[in-house]
Structure 1
Amino acid sequence: MTVEPHTPAAKKARRVALASYIGTSIEWYDFFIYGIAATLVFRTQFFPEFSELGGTLAALGTFAVGFIARPVGGIVMGHFGDRVGRKSMLVVSLLTMGLATTLIGLLPTYQTIGVWAPILLVVLRLAQGAGVGGEWGGAVLMAIEHAPANRRSLYGCFPQLGLPSGILTSQLVFLGLTSFLPEEAFVAWGWRIAFLLSAALVIVGLVVRIAIEESAEFARVRSAGLVARMPVVEVFRRSWLQLLIGSLASIAAPTLGYLVSVYLVQYGTNELELATTTMLWILVGVSVGWILMVFIGGLAGDLLGRKKTFLIGATLAVVWAFPMFLLVDTRSIGLIVVALIVITTANAVMAGPQPALITEMFPIRLRYSGASICYQVGSIIGGGVVPIVATTVFARFGTSTAVAALIAGVSAVSLLAILLARRTVLRPAAASESIPETAAGVQKKAEPPVFD
């Protein structure tokens, strides 16, 4: 069914997409301020007994801990999202993330409470991970399931816009803090301001999300009595191949996202000896174009096809990994900007169609669980493990070529996963579902999108 651009249904779809974008931006802001603080502050504040390399790895390790909790959040909220509804889980995920982030801003350091400081930091990071783990599936489903059939990739990319938007906001906040506060004040207490701001942002997000309506597609599943009793178990039993392909496909985009937003901040300041503010300003400029490119990637997914668009981005990621580090290592600001513009474009062209590509692998009744598991497994590897491995291989080999090989290899995994997957695995699952639209039994089928 095609929704006309000025109908009430179309206006509702745009409101839901905007609400998904706002909420996701807030959650990614919360997630990424931790990553920046881990590279700039946490080594000295929470791990002062470690060496410089050991402290950096420990701080990045606590960042990675959040990824361990993400599949737990995805599974738990996916279960209830497929049984109770998408909207309620979005509220829960936002509250969980916001509360944990605010408490990190109030957390005493190692100097004050000793070993309890890093322990509590890990606990709160686990809560952050659980919150963001349940966020992605619900946000993309609300956007996609409200969208016109021929614009699902475009509407589905709105939650993906939250990633670069969260990065941009977090960079701007830290830029302001590092620019206006003396370094000692920033390290001692100024970094906490970024975390405490989350409380105000979460209130805004909650107001927006509470005002939107539940997904009509899920409402039809519920009214037809087709809600799965154990959706996580059922999705593993019925759609294990889709879970495998979707998880492998979901590795590359977060790898590039966290490479740019977390690893390169540490690499630029520690290895290239560039000023922290220089690296942050570079990321601010790059993030603006990144947001635009995600939007273009989502639109291309509807016009060219999800699979084709994704493969273009993955191929660019593999090809550009080595030239990117060659340019970054020159320490030339202009060349670093060029390097990051291209790699974020690769990320955006994959990330734009990714929500529609992944969610359409699963039937509506199992979609929250299936999509969440795929995305979070990919994010654990791409966003949690890769930055630590990148730091380790650079320390071992002393050259960025090793890191470039890692990035190219990880991107190739996602490229091959989608390239070799058959249409029977990636076909829109909802197109084969027949669900009563009303009590009278009117049948509704989803229109198949442009896929290949």
Structure 2
Amino acid sequence: MANASVPAYAAAPQPNKPVRPKGLYKAFAASLTGTALEWYDFAVYSAAAAVVFPIVFFPSSDPLTGTILAFSTYAVGYVSRPIGGIVFGRLGDRIGRKRVLVTTLMIIGVATVLIGILPSYASIGITAPIILVLLRFAQGVGVGGEWGGAVLLSSEYGDPKRRGFWASAAQVGPPAGNLLANGALAILTVTLSNEQFISFGWRIAFLISALLVGFGLWIRLRLEDTPIFKAIEAHGDQPNAPVSEVFRKELRPLIAATLCRVGPDVLYALFTVFTLTYGIQFLGYQRNQVLTAVLIGSAFQLFMIPLAGAVSDRFNRRWVYGIAAGAGAIWTFIFFVVLGGNSQPMLIVGIVLGLMAHSFMYGPQAAFIVEQFSPRLRSTGSSLAYTFAGVIGGAIAPLMFTILLSEFNTWIPVAIYVAVAAVVTLIGLSLGRDSNTDEDEEYRLLLEGSAVR
């Protein structure tokens, strides 16, 4: 937004009104817990797609074929994200961040519970996998609309000079959800026999989400919208057609924000999804061994992601992000060599270090993407970038990993695939811009001026 649009009462130098800690911390908690609960749902599906769905919904004489079909439904959850990004991203710029976040949470919660009670292929035949795909599609729509609003919820309450840290609240959601999901699955795996787990145990993890989503709704309904959106709304500055405006006026930021996400999405799919299939089916690890390793790696991410966000506030955000992308690509080659030793401790170390590289991309990522767009188009632009990147990054990654492994019978093409994704991320970073806090300050001054009048 140009300075000329700022009224005289707001343009004069004024000290920034401090954000009330109560509102700030509540926004941070709402952003973190909401995405954590939604990613719990998503992560439970991801894990089940690797170890359960090939048996329950896609029975086949060839286990690899069943796995490919199960991962195809995993991809549906990414392909449907742009619909959520377009619909809810637009609404986030039109009616506010909070209303959108309540709706997306309900969509994912209902879809996940229904998956938990869905009859198997043996019970209702081909209808079962068809319904599963539809519910997975609904999950993807919800997640596609969730991320942009969750990021803005915490970042627009916080100090824009510390946006890397505050925006990382939503980024902690995926590892937190993954931690909860894999923890639940690990407990069920240990306490139940394999037959019991395949029969009904996996369903328990899906049904638990009803309680988790209810808690998330309670937090979000008690929260006000962000100060930045309040200022935009008070001065009638909401865009009439935010999607088309992003494509017309902010296409380069959209491309930069989209490409920068590809590497982290692919790396995350490798260490949290494909590792389950590769470790169990090809290297002979026990299911609980791999789940435990992913669990430990996710626990480390709970601290590493906010740390990475804070580091990117102190140093150049693009450099922190880019160095992590290169490190992740290099470590992937080392990881597969280490994994071949069939050592549980080395499996844990390998996943922890891989997810550490991911953390130093993922921590600064939310702030970097938000900073590519003007405040009045942030929800739309951020949501579009998030969902478009998901389609070309995380959506097809587990499927491509499985196909490459099947075709070449070696991990080398998989590692090369990850390296190419890292290069795509570096291209996105080079097209992007550095942080600009002036735009936020203008809207904050507008809001203060409205309150004075």
Is the pair's TM-score, using the shorter chain for normalization, greater than 0.5? yes
Q: Deviations over 1:41-84 (max 9, x none)?
A: 11111111462111110001001100011111011000111100
Q: Which runs of 5+ in 2 are unaligned?
A: 1-13
Q: CA deviation at 1:422?
A: 5.8
Q: Is the 8 A contact 1:321 1:407 kept in 2?
A: yes
3-state secondary structure, aligned to 1:147: coil
| Identity, % of aligned positions | 37
Q: Is the 8 A contact 1:251 1:382 kept in 2?
A: yes
| 1:271-286 equivalent positions in 2, closer than 5 A | 271-286=282-297
Q: CA deviation at 1:17?
A: 0.6
- CA pair 337-238 structure 1, distance change in 2 beyond 3 A: same
Q: Which residue of 2 aligns with 1:57?
A: 68
- CA pair 157-2 structure 1, distance change in 2 beyond 3 A: farther
Query: What residue identity is the alignment partner of 2:111?
Result: A
Q: Is the 8 A contact 1:249 1:417 kept in 2?
A: yes
Q: Which residue of 1 aligns with 2:6?
A: none
Q: Is the 8 A contact 1:363 1:430 kept in 2?
A: no
In structure 2, C-alpha distance between the alignment counterparts of 1:308 and 1:346, rounded to whole Å: 13
| 1:12-411 equivalent positions in 2, closer than 5 A | 12-49=23-60, 51-411=62-422
Q: Is the 8 A contact 1:362 1:428 kept in 2?
A: no
Q: CA deviation at 1:433?
A: 8.2
**Higher mean C-alpha displacement, 433-442 vs 275-284:** 433-442
Q: Which runs of 5+ in 1 are unaligned?
A: 444-452
3-state secondary structure, aligned to 1:93: helix
- CA pair 182-299 structure 1, distance change in 2 beyond 3 A: same
Q: CA deviation at 1:375?
A: 1.2
Q: Which residue of 1 aligns with 2:4?
A: none
Q: Which residue of 2 aligns with 1:450?
A: none
- CA pair 438-46 structure 1, distance change in 2 beyond 3 A: closer
Provide the alpha-carbon RMSD of the alignment.
Answer: 1.9
Q: TM-score, normalised by structure 1?
A: 0.93
Q: Is the 8 A contact 1:10 1:148 kept in 2?
A: no
In structure 2, C-alpha distance between the alignment counterparts of 1:198 and 1:400, rounded to whole Å: 35
In structure 1, C-alpha distance between the alignment counterparts of 2:432 and 2:139, rounded to whole Å: 36
Q: Deviations over 1:99-146 (max 9, x none)?
A: 000000010111111110000000000000001111110000000000
Query: What residue identity is the alignment partner of 1:262?
Result: V
Q: Deviations over 1:155-174 (max 9, x none)?
A: 10011011111111111100
Q: 1:428 aligns with which of 427, 431, 436?
A: 436
Q: Is the 8 A contact 2:160 2:437 kept in 1?
A: no
Q: Deviations over 1:395-421 (max 9, x none)?
A: 011111111111111112102321x32
Q: Is the 8 A contact 1:260 1:340 kept in 2?
A: yes
In structure 2, C-alpha distance between the alignment counterparts of 1:212 and 1:295, rounded to whole Å: 22
Q: Is the 8 A contact 2:309 2:363 kept in 1?
A: yes
- CA pair 233-179 structure 1, distance change in 2 beyond 3 A: same
Q: TM-score, normalised by structure 2?
A: 0.93
Query: What residue identity is the alignment partner of 1:396?
Result: E
In structure 2, C-alpha distance between the alignment counterparts of 1:259 and 1:31, rounded to whole Å: 16
Answer yes or no: is 1:415 the counterpart of 2:426: yes
Q: CA deviation at 1:439?
A: 8.2
Instruction: Select the structure with the greater relative contact order (CA < 8 A; seq sep ≥ 6).
Output: 2
3-state secondary structure, aligned to 1:274: coil
Query: What residue identity is the alignment partner of 1:115?
Result: I
- CA pair 361-98 structure 1, distance change in 2 beyond 3 A: same
Q: CA deviation at 1:8?
A: 5.8
Q: CA deviation at 1:431?
A: 2.6
Q: Is the 8 A contact 2:175 2:298 kept in 1?
A: yes
Q: Is the 8 A contact 1:286 1:337 kept in 2?
A: yes
In structure 2, C-alpha distance between the alignment counterparts of 1:82 and 1:378, rounded to whole Å: 20
- CA pair 438-179 structure 1, distance change in 2 beyond 3 A: closer
Query: What residue identity is the alignment partner of 1:106?
Result: I
Q: CA deviation at 1:261?
A: 1.3
3-state secondary structure, aligned to 1:362: coil
Q: CA deviation at 1:252?
A: 1.1
Q: CA deviation at 1:11?
A: 3.1
In structure 2, C-alpha distance between the alignment counterparts of 1:442 and 1:199, rounded to whole Å: 40
**Higher mean C-alpha displacement, 274-283 vs 305-314:** 305-314
Query: What residue identity is the alignment partner of 1:428?
Result: N
Query: What residue identity is the alignment partner of 1:251?
Result: V
Query: What residue identity is the alignment partner of 2:446?
Result: E
Answer yes or no: is 1:437 the counterpart of 2:409: no
In structure 2, C-alpha distance between the alignment counterparts of 1:238 and 1:26, rounded to whole Å: 34
In structure 2, C-alpha distance between the alignment counterparts of 1:29 and 1:85, rounded to whole Å: 25
Q: CA deviation at 1:427?
A: 5.0
**Higher mean C-alpha displacement, 200-209 vs 329-338:** 329-338
- Aligned residue pair count: 438
Query: What residue identity is the alignment partner of 1:68?
Result: V
Query: What residue identity is the alignment partner of 1:202?
Result: V
